Amino acid sequence: MISTSPLRITLAQMDVHHGAPQKNLQQAADLCAEAARRGSQLCLLPELWGSGYSLKRAAELAAPLGEGLFAEMSALARRHRMALGGSLLEADGGRVYNTFALYAADGSLLASYRKIHRFRPMKEDRYLEAGAQPVVVETPWGLTGLTVCYDLRFPELYRGYALAGASLVLVVAEWPVPRIAHWRTLLQARAIENQYFVAAVNRVGEEGGQTFGGHSGVLTPWGEYLLEAGTAPALLTVDLPLDEIAHIRRVFPTLPDRRPEAYRL
């Protein structure tokens, strides 16, 4: 079900300190406090906001769901009565995952999504296990899909969320400057082809020889930016008119015109 009232969402575009969870936690706590002061119902932190790509220490920095920085996220959500999402290193049975956790305003875990597509140039395939299951979750604002960074290059995942009825897909990322044009283009494509809102937060700063490109933003089902950041740390807040989706899909009904039986080679 799509909410008939706007969703106030804040994107926390932050510089992530390599392998420094307490420093990152303090920064995230300050950003969440300001997001709550603005009346946000949902705040998004970037991919691996607690550690950055400190993957050689992944086993050390990871925690099970409900512990470590996951517990801190829950506490922040509960303290500010605001839903909170972002990805962290998750430990489970001797394995480590890049896991997007989404907490409700009461601190309960709404859903967790393990990144399906590992980014080999950053050696995720060496240190992290791959997720195996898309996650779409019913929230107070409507059905919402969860994705992480490199997932953006795989349209099948996003189409699945559209067919499941999602009105919003969230993207948390560490996307570098050299391919920031791809980031912007792919975000627009995913929104346009699936006719839902896309809210995407990317980090900024430098790590391991990479400079990360920011340009966090929220896109309408027409692929238009409601707002977009630049390349500096920023806290962006906007109201999402989710009830517009029904009108857009009615006046331009592309999804019903799909012919999957004709796509087989």
Query: What is the pLDDT, as a whole number, of residue 134?
Result: 98
**Mean pLDDT of all residues in 123-142:** 97
**Mean pLDDT of all residues in 111-121:** 97
- Domains of the chain and any CATH numbers: 7-252 (3.60.110.10)
Q: Is 47 assigned a catalytic role?
A: yes
Residue, of 195 and 1, whose pLDDT is higher: 195
Query: What is the pLDDT, as a whole number, of residue 3?
Result: 60
**Mean pLDDT of all residues in 77-87:** 98
Q: Is 115 assigned a catalytic role?
A: yes
Q: Is 123 assigned a catalytic role?
A: no
Q: Which one of the listed residues 32, 43, 115, 207 is annotated catalytic?
A: 115
Tell how strand 7-13 and strand 234-240 pair up: antiparallel
Query: What is the pLDDT, as a whole number, of residue 1?
Result: 60
Q: Which one of the listed residues 32, 47, 90, 174 is annotated catalytic?
A: 47
**In this model, does residue 213 exceed pLDDT 90?**
yes
Reported as a single tens digit per residue, the pLDDT across 23-51 is 999 999 999 999 999 999 999 999 999 99
Query: What is the pLDDT, as a whole number, of residue 208?
Result: 86
Q: Which one of the listed residues 129, 149, 174, 207 is annotated catalytic?
A: 149
CA distance 96 to 54: 12
**In this model, does residue 164 exceed pLDDT 80?**
yes
Instruction: Using a cut of 0.85, tell me whether the model's pTM lies above it.
Output: yes
**In this model, does residue 2 exceed pLDDT 90?**
no
Q: What is the mean pLDDT of the chain?
A: 96
In one-letter notation, the amino acid at residue 166 is: A
Q: Is the dihedral of CA 130, 102, 71, 148 positive or negative?
A: positive
pLDDT confidence tier of residue 4, bands split at 50, 70 and 90? low
Query: What is the pLDDT, as a whole number, of residue 5?
Result: 80
Query: What is the pLDDT, as a whole number, of residue 42?
Result: 98
